[in-house]
Amino acid sequence: MMCRDIHSELEAITARYEKDQVVVVADKTVTGYGLPVMGNYPCLAVEISEAHKSLETVQQIWDFFFEQGLTRRGLVVAIGGGVLTDLVGFAAATYKRGVDYVNIPTTLLAMIDASSGGKTGINYHSLKNSIGVFAPPVETLIYPAWLKTLPIKEFLSGFGEMLKTGLLNTKLWPQLLQYDLDTMPIETLTPLIEQCVNVKERIVAADPKEEGLRKALNFGHTFGHALEELSIANAHPGVDPLYHGYAVVYGMIAELYLSVTKLGCSKAPLQQLTQIMLHYYGKPQCKCSDRERLLSLMRQDKKNEHAGEINCTLIRSIGSPQINQVITTDEALEALDYLFSL
Ligand SMILES: NC(=O)c1ccc[n+]([C@@H]2O[C@H](COP(=O)([O-])OP(=O)(O)OC[C@H]3O[C@@H](n4cnc5c(N)ncnc54)[C@H](O)[C@@H]3O)[C@@H](O)[C@H]2O)c1
């Protein structure tokens, strides 16, 4: 739900619970900016990074719930980006077999993607989101003013996922192309956030457990996840891993190339996204010599239906996703060559 007044919207929800049965878990960075929305509820501030999306952090959150005497009839308020909402959603869904939680996303990526749809989880043995459950929040309160403190790269990462949603919707795509990424105004972004959330919610409502249609939301993610995982493996002091939304933009270029060559999609969205990529996201940091490792990562993707194959969502045109497109090794290499040639 989009909020004009986050305080009253949250109060309307917490009023349904006993006063001593509401607790807050928030991203420490966000609490550092001050968090008036917390009211007087007990709050656990959690250190956040992809490395903290772990069982240890979940234990820290469970311990906090026990210390606060939270029962199954309580409410957990999760305030932060996608790492925080995934972690808290998982901790809440597994605490005493499930306690209600509400998401208050504070990053663009969490607003338009991570905080809705019911996927929760943690990383395990370096595998992203490999332990988790489907457990939707009772509500997601989206208050775009949080974005004022968000670093530009985090903003662009979230916008990368918005562009993906735009390619699934004929009305949204041209509006996203009009958005001024040089000044990033929040007022004109707000209706775009709302439309992205609506597109995702409609798809999730039709296929909550990702058995068919929801795979459309994975557009750009087969190549994108491989690029992201490779960058995590290659990261070293001074060289950060790829932000998720950047990886999705690069992945969409490869998958739009295949959409053109395999499904006859028009070249316009590929050209439009390439322009945005070159202007705002830069070129991918991986090299041609990484091609074999990328292929191997794509063959291990948890979205594949059969072991060893490479499975993508492609588009026939904007708003017309085609799920379960199996691509050959040669096609994958050609798409990577195209991406690395830009
Ligand atoms: N559950 C889902 O459906 C789903 C969907 C997409 C992504 N995800 C997950 O979301 C995670 C990525 O989420 P993210 O991009 O929000 O990353 P994140 O939660 O790591 O937040 C990014 C950074 O921004 C900081 N931050 C958060 N809010 C801020 C604010 N208002 N001002 C300044 N800094 C702020 C955080 O402390 C962090 O350093 C990944 O773990 C991914 O797997 C989940």
Query: Model confidence over 250-301: pLDDT tens digits?
Result: 999 999 999 999 999 999 999 999 999 999 999 987 777 899 999 999 998 7
What's the average model confidence in pLDDT over 83-88?
Answer: 98
Q: The CATH number of the domain where 291 resides is what?
A: 1.20.1090.10
Closest CA to 306 of 319, 289, 324, 293: 324
On the question of pLDDT at 94 being above 80, the answer is yes
Q: Is 221 exposed, middle or buried (0-12, 13-18, 19+ CB in 10 A)?
A: buried
| HSE of 287, CA atoms in CB hemisphere, 13 A | 2
**Could you tell me the two tokens for 224?**
């994108």
pLDDT at 36 (0 to 100) = 61
On the question of pLDDT at 171 being above 90, the answer is yes
Which secondary structure element, helix H or strand E, spans residue 203, and what is its range? Answer: helix 186-206
Ligand 1: residue of 25, 31, 50, 83 to mutate (most ligand atoms within 8 A of CB) is 83
Domain residue limits at 34 = 6-149
Of all residues in the chain, the percent with pLDDT exceeding 90 is 82
> What DSSP designation does 312 have?
E
Q: How many domains would you assign to the chain?
A: 2
AA identity, residue 126: S
Question: Is there a single domain that holds both residue 303 and residue 165?
Answer: yes
CA of 70 to the centre of ligand 1 (A): 26
Question: Is there a single domain that holds both residue 204 and residue 310?
Answer: yes
On the question of pLDDT at 10 being above 70, the answer is yes
The single residue listed with the structure tokens 């597109």 is 199
CA of 49 to the centre of ligand 1 (A): 8
CA of 340 to the centre of ligand 1 (A): 27
Residue 1 within any structural domain of the chain: no
Last residue of a domain, one of 93, 127, 149: 149
Last residue of a domain, one of 130, 149, 168: 149
Residue 20 within any structural domain of the chain: yes
User: For 28-143, where are the E strands, in sequence order?
Assistant: 43-46, 75-80, 100-105, 119-124, 127-134, 139-140
Ligand 1: residue of 107, 140, 217 to mutate (most ligand atoms within 8 A of CB) is 107
Rounded-to-integer distance, Cα 128 and Cα 172, Å: 29
Question: Is there a single domain that holds both residue 209 and residue 82?
Answer: no
Question: Is there a single domain that holds both residue 34 and residue 183?
Answer: no
Residue 137 · residue 25 · CB < 8 Å: no
CA of 175 to the centre of ligand 1 (A): 24
Question: Is there a single domain that holds both residue 175 and residue 315?
Answer: yes
Question: Is there a single domain that holds both residue 186 and residue 274?
Answer: yes
For the ranges 8-22, 299-313, 327-341, the lowest mean pLDDT is seen at 299-313
Q: Is 18 exposed, middle or buried (0-12, 13-18, 19+ CB in 10 A)?
A: exposed
Closest CA to 137 of 158, 165, 114, 159: 114
CA of 107 to the centre of ligand 1 (A): 6
On the question of pLDDT at 35 being above 90, the answer is no
Rounded-to-integer distance, Cα 280 and Cα 268, Å: 18
Q: How many CB atoms lie within 10 A of CB 13?
A: 17
Residue 230 within any structural domain of the chain: yes
Residue 178 · residue 41 · CB < 8 Å: no
Last residue of a domain, one of 149, 174, 198: 149
Q: The CATH number of the domain where 144 resides is what?
A: 3.40.50.1970
CA of 108 to the centre of ligand 1 (A): 8
Q: Which atom of ligand 1 is nearest to the CA of 49?
A: 20
Question: Is there a single domain that holds both residue 143 and residue 164?
Answer: no
Question: Is there a single domain that holds both residue 191 and residue 213?
Answer: yes
pLDDT at 37 (0 to 100) = 64
CA of 216 to the centre of ligand 1 (A): 22
Question: Is there a single domain that holds both residue 181 and residue 265?
Answer: yes
For the ranges 41-45, 107-111, 289-293, the lowest mean pLDDT is seen at 289-293
Ligand 1: residue of 30, 53, 101, 109 to mutate (most ligand atoms within 8 A of CB) is 109
CA of 209 to the centre of ligand 1 (A): 22
Which residues line the pocket of ligand 1, CB cutoff 6 A? 27, 29-30, 48, 50, 53, 80-84, 86, 106-107, 109-110, 113-114, 117, 119, 128-129, 146, 149-150, 154, 157, 244
Residue 142 within any structural domain of the chain: yes
Question: Is there a single domain that holds both residue 88 and residue 199?
Answer: no
Question: Is there a single domain that holds both residue 87 and residue 200?
Answer: no
Residue 258 within any structural domain of the chain: yes
Residue 193 within any structural domain of the chain: yes
Residue 36 within any structural domain of the chain: yes
Residue 169 within any structural domain of the chain: yes
Question: Is there a single domain that holds both residue 40 and residue 134?
Answer: yes
pLDDT at 305 (0 to 100) = 75
pLDDT at 339 (0 to 100) = 95
